[in-house]
Amino acid sequence: MTTAGQRIAYFNGRFVPESEVLVPFRDRGFKYGDAVFDTTRTFGHRVFKLAEHVDRLYRSLHYLRIDPGIAPAELVAITEEVLRQNLVLLGPDEDYWVSQRISRGLDAAAREVWPQTGATVIVECLPLPLRDRASLYRDGIRVVTPAVRRTAPEAMSPRAKTHNYLNVVLGDLEAKSRDPQAWAILLDTNGHLAEGIGSNIFLVRDGVIRTPREEFVLAGISRATVMDLATEAGFSVVEQDLDLFDAYGADEAFLTSTSLCICPVQSVNGIAPRSGAIPGPVTRQLTDAYRRFVDYDFVAQYLKHLDG
Ligand code: PMP
């Protein structure tokens, strides 16, 4: 395979073309999902909250007792270098997802074939799926709550961002089998709203902004960004248990994620929020605050890709 024009990734100490990132099949990340990752994005080619994402990555590593063999500051520098080497491949209206992926590495027996000791460390980037998601900003996201429940914190904390996504993958498959355009938001084992495969949910009612408690969901960096911006704008922001009664009675709902930032919900299980507008007024105000905060119009960026 030619390596010309390929993105470059960091792989165990070296910057190599992506096609040369070959993880041994005996890596524990492949065998057991025994790995963690984190993903930020760029806005107009500038990386967003990298230190916060790397911090969260190290909290996930700590939870799984994986020693990455590398300090956070070094990983930040490597990530910036990966990005620098790949920006030339990006169109002016495009941006990247930027990810670190760290597995526990190989068990001793595998070293007969692969001499590697210690963690497997990868840093890579991928263009955002702007075209696929553009219509969500025009129409809103159709949320479906599948029967599959989010992993309970007693089993494995959803606050860690691990490579084992099967629980949310199953939830998403179920939601998409009901409606191919739907995004799953799983309920937790108590029947409260939890989160989706890569997003947090917020409900707005009577001007109060509510989101599920952190114990049951990943502490999204975009979730925190919206909570900060909403508080600054004078809204009261509450983390609490929310059920389908709350969802069906909400004036507005929106999802947050690294790629989406903030995106309106069109319906939950077919039931539209009461405000009737996409986005509703509070969602619009927070979207504007988000755009100002990142100094980039991500909504225009998505919409530009609508018919392209
Ligand atoms: N929940 C899960 C399970 C996720 O994978 C993600 C994506 N990282 C999120 C929520 C949203 O987090 P963030 O805003 O940091 O992208």
Q: Are residues 231 and 264 in the same domain?
A: yes
Q: Are residues 78 and 19 in the same domain?
A: yes
Q: Residue 258 Cα, ligand 1 centroid: separation in angstroms? A: 7
Q: Measured in angstroms, how far is the CA atom of residue 115 from the centroid of ligand 1?
A: 34
For a pocket test of ligand 1, which of 95, 126, 164, 257 has the largest count of ligand atoms closer than 8 A to its C-beta? 257
Residue 223 CA: nearest ligand 1 atom is 14
Whether residue 191 is found in the same domain as residue 249: yes
Residue pair 73/291 in contact by the 8 Å Cβ criterion: no
Say yes or no: CB of residue 257 within 6 Å of ligand 1: yes
Q: Indicate whether this model's pTM tops 0.85.
A: yes
The DSSP secondary-structure symbol of 163 reads: S
Q: Is the CB of 171 under 6 A from ligand 1?
A: no
- Tell me how far apart the alpha carbons of residues 67 and 104 are, in angstroms, rounded to a whole number: 7
How far apart are the CA of 198 and the centre of ligand 1, in A? 4
Q: How far is CA 300 from the centre of its chain?
A: 20
Q: Measured from the CB, is residue 172 less than 6 Å from ligand 1?
A: no
User: Is 3 contained in some domain?
Assistant: no
Is the distance from the beta carbon of residue 258 to the nearest atom of ligand 1 less than 6 Å?
yes
- Residues 145, 291, single domain; the answer is yes
Assess whether the C-beta atom of 218 lies below 6 angstroms from ligand 1: yes
Residues 118, 153, single domain; the answer is: no
Structural domain of residue 260, as residue ranges? 133-303
Q: Are residue 115 and residue 188 in the same domain, yes or no?
A: no
Count of CB atoms situated within 10 Å of the CB of 172: 22
Q: Are residues 18 and 166 in the same domain?
A: no
pLDDT of residue 2: 64
Task: Identify the CATH number of the domain in which residue 93 sits.
Answer: 3.30.470.10
Instruction: Tell the residue nearest (CA) to atom 6 of ligand 1.
Output: 198
Q: What is the pLDDT of residue 307?
A: 74
Q: Sheet of 46-47: strands edge to edge? A: 14-17, 8-11, 120-127, 96-103, 35-43, 46-47
Residues 154 and 291 in one domain: yes
My answer on whether 261 and 153 are in the same domain is: yes
Domain boundary (107, 128, 149) is at 128
Which long-range contacts does 173-176 make (Cβ < 8 Å, 24+ apart)? 174/144, 174/146, 174/147, 174/148, 175/144, 175/145, 175/146
Q: pLDDT of the chain along its 308 residues, tens only?
A: 567 789 999 999 999 999 999 999 999 999 999 999 999 999 999 999 999 999 999 999 999 999 999 999 999 999 999 999 999 999 999 999 999 999 999 999 998 999 999 999 999 999 999 999 999 999 999 999 999 999 999 999 999 999 999 999 999 999 999 999 999 999 999 999 999 999 999 999 999 999 999 999 999 999 999 999 999 999 999 999 999 999 999 999 999 999 999 999 999 999 999 999 999 999 999 999 999 999 999 999 999 999 75
Q: Is 212 in the pocket of ligand 1 (CB under 6 A)?
A: no
- Residues 209 and 266 placed together within one structural domain of the fold: yes
**Are residues 297 and 179 located together in one domain of the fold?**
yes
24 shares a domain with 140: no
- Best probe residue, ligand 1, of 56, 218, 258 (max atoms within 8 Å of C-beta): 218
Q: Within 13 Å, how many C-alpha atoms sit on residue 264's CB side?
A: 28
Structural domain tally of the chain?
Answer: 2
